[in-house]
Amino acid sequence: MSKYTFFSGIIAGTSILYGCHSKTTSGKRPDSPNVILIYTDDLGIGDLSCYGATQVSTPHIDRLAGEGLRFTNAYSTSATSTPSRYGMLTGIYPWRKDNTGIAPGNSGLLIDTATVTVADVFQRAGYTTGVIGKWHLGLGPESGPDFNTYIAPNTNDIGFDYEFIIPATVDRVPCVFVENGRVVNLDPDDPIYVDYGKKVGDWPTGEENPELLTLKPSQGHNNTIVNGISRIGYMTGGKSALWKDDEIAQTIVSKAEEFITENRDNPFFLFFGTHDIHVPRVPHADFKGKSGLGDRGDVILQLDWTVGKIVEMLNRLQLSDNTIIIFSSDNGPVIDDGYHDKAFELLNGHTPMGQYRGGKYSLYEAGTRVPLIVYWKDQIEAGIQHARFSQIDMLRSVAAFLNQSLEDDDAPDSQNALQVLLGKEQKDRDFTIHQNLDNTLSISKGGWKYFTPSELPGIERWTGIELGNSPEPQLYRTEEDPSEKNNVARQYPAVVRELSAMLDSIQSIN
Ligand code: NG6
Ligand code: CA
């Protein structure tokens, strides 16, 4: 009998009272595997050799894919980071909330502390939970955090026992890590001030002092200069706390190692958000120049190294038999996302978007179609999962796995897709909903994909990516036309009506 069969046979309810199951003498519950969710940033379906990339090689990720389950039709809820993370962690479509655009670095916590999160579900099942790396869902009260004091609420208030996070993105200030509510290495005599509207303090900006830059912006990104890179937003102070851009991957890997080592004898859940391969792309010297595709390719190698390190530490700690690794991305790829890192010039035939239209920010497939790999040694059969999966289903799938019951209004948009995640079923999700930068929505169902008409600009102003906004309704037959070349809305008005009504009715709930 496999571990999983045993697990799913337990009567629901026991777990609520007593945690999952009784502990073994070592304290480890063999039927409660650890779960590490590696959530990458802006990684495209065409960026990994296991998904067909030929110009870059990602052996560690490929190994997980080769020995685990590789999904070909997996989606994030949204084409940017903050809403995708919100949707995945809460099982609530981010567009139901008004506050899930791209969060600035001084945003308050965007997840209501009363909302059930994936981390809460693990906690209820007796797991120790941690979040390490990119967060991008705000911190502190609605008015925004004071980085000089204990910041509350923080992720500890929404299900994580431990946090070590990049508050927003690495191209946004403040350029510091926050650990359990406090800025790491902050000198109280050098307080941090952050403002997204006007300059604070006297640190140079990219706009005023471009001669100080080691990496120049191609779009925006011309506010405060930190480590030779101008960012979005202004900051001053906190000098001793500033991260080193080329060491971020190493820093978060070593924090993961501490967390995993400390929790080796009890079940743990780690939400590990990489900065790679978001901008600014600053590979460590070990990877600089190694891909032949410039910095964007080099940080793909750095990401692959990161995954290799996690696998290696699990082996070393003898946890590899008992740890599920889920690997995915928050949104699709972008080539030039605001810095002159020669990403376009050095592509060398590499195709981050694969055959798909659009990219990050877009309603077209390359916006939300993401890599997804689920690896569980000897428990998940190696193979390819073609069933349609959406990250919105993470919460209820996890709850089913851990035998945790939920209220009906918890994770209202999430469905239990556990059997698909484990490769036991090949059943498509009935429909998926996609959100672009402007909150325009599309719905995919039964081989059709319908886009809500929008008067907003069709092209993202900085990157030139097609957003999918158009005043005309769009309808694509995504199975025969995966690149969404032929809008067939005029030929199939009944399908347009049906999908538009379906999307309306889903949107009108609550
Ligand atoms: C955009 C930034 C981009 C990136 C993105 C958020 C400019 C010109 N572009 O506004 O560089 O930071 O926001 O990316 O400023 S995300 O993956 O975190 O959503
Ligand atoms: Ca992202």
Q: Where are the beta strands (DSSP E) in 207-256?
A: 225-226, 229-230, 234-236
Q: Which long-range contacts link 209-216 to residues 24+ away (Cβ below 8 Å)? A: 215/280, 215/282, 215/339, 215/340, 215/341, 216/339, 216/340
Per-residue model confidence as pLDDT tens digits over 441-478: 999 999 999 999 999 999 999 999 999 999 999 999 99
> Residue 100's pLDDT is what?
76
For 317-348, give the DSSP string: TT-GGGEEEEEEESS---S-SSB-S-TTTT-T
Q: What are phi and psi of 477, to 5 degrees?
A: -100, 90
Judge contact between 391 and 421, C-beta under 8 A.
no
Query: Which residues of the chain are modeled with pLDDT < 70?
Result: 1-30, 99, 510
∠434-438-439 over CA atoms, to 5°? 45
pLDDT of residue 30: 53
Using DSSP, how many helices (H) and how many strands (E) does the chain show? Answer: 11, 19
pLDDT tens by residue, 82-97: 999 999 999 999 999 8
Ion ligand 2 residues within 5 Å by Cβ: 41-42, 81, 330-331
Two structure tokens written together for 248? 């971020």
Q: Please indicate whether residue 170, judged by its CB atom, sits closer than 6 Å to ligand 1.
A: no
- Pick from 232, 137, 141, 240: nearest CA to 187: 240
Ligand 1 site, residue 220, Cβ cutoff 6 A: yes
- Name the CA radius of gyration of the chain, rounded: 22
HSE toward the beta carbon, residue 494, CA cutoff 13 A: 0
Ligand 1 center to residue 337 CA distance, Å?
7
Contacts of 294 (CB under 8 A, 6+ apart): 341, 342, 343, 345, 346
**Whose C-alpha lies nearest to ligand 1, atom 4?**
337
Other CB atoms within 10 A of residue 507 CB:
15
Question: Which of 76, 135, 165, 232 maximizes ligand 1 atoms within 8 Å of its Cβ, making it the mutation to test the pocket?
Answer: 232
Instruction: Report CA 248 to chain centroid distance, whole Å.
Output: 17
Coil, strand, or helix at residue 410?
A: coil
Ligand 1 atom nearest the C-alpha of 134 is 18
Q: Is the pTM of this model over 0.75?
A: yes
Q: How far apart are CA 395 and CA 34, in angstroms?
A: 16
Whether 219 lines ligand 1, by a CB cut-off of 6 Å, is yes
Distance from residue 79's CA to the centre of ligand 2 (Å) = 8
From the CA of 437, which ligand is nearest? Answer: 1
In total, the chain counts a number of residues equal to 510
215: amino acid identity, one letter: L
Nearest residue (by CA) to ligand 1, atom 10, is 102
380-383, long-range: CB < 8 A, 24+ apart: 380/68, 380/69, 380/324, 380/422, 380/423, 381/69, 381/423, 382/66, 382/67, 382/68, 382/69, 383/69, 383/70, 383/423
**Whether residue 280 has a cis bond before it, omega within 30° of 0:** yes
Residue 178's DSSP bridge partners are: 165, 183
Give the pLDDT of residue 455. 98
Cis peptide bond N-terminal to 333, omega within 30: no
Question: How many C-beta atoms surround the C-beta of residue 423 within 10 A?
Answer: 21
Query: Ligand 2 centre from 333 Cα, in Å?
Result: 8
Cβ of residue 336 lying under 6 Å from some atom of ligand 1: no
CA distance 184 to 177: 6
Distance 261 CA to ligand 2 centre (A): 29
Q: What integer pLDDT is reported at residue 19 of this predicted model?
A: 34
Q: Tell me the C-alpha distance between 295 and 288, whole Å.
A: 7
Tokens standing for 60?
């560690």
Token readout for 473 is 């309704």
- State the pLDDT at residue 510: 67
Q: Cβ(81) to ligand 1 under 6 A?
A: yes
pLDDT computed for residue 323 by the predictor: 98
For position 27, what pLDDT does the model report?
A: 47
144 phi and psi angles, rounded to 5 deg: 105, 160
Give Cα 11 distance to the centre of its chain. 33
Does 487 sit in the ligand 1 pocket, CB within 6 Å?
A: no
Using alpha carbons, list the distances in angstroms from residue 309 to 44, 250, 325: 21, 10, 13
d(CA 482, CA 247): 38
DSSP code for 159:
T
Q: Are 43 and 307 in contact (CB under 8 A)?
A: no
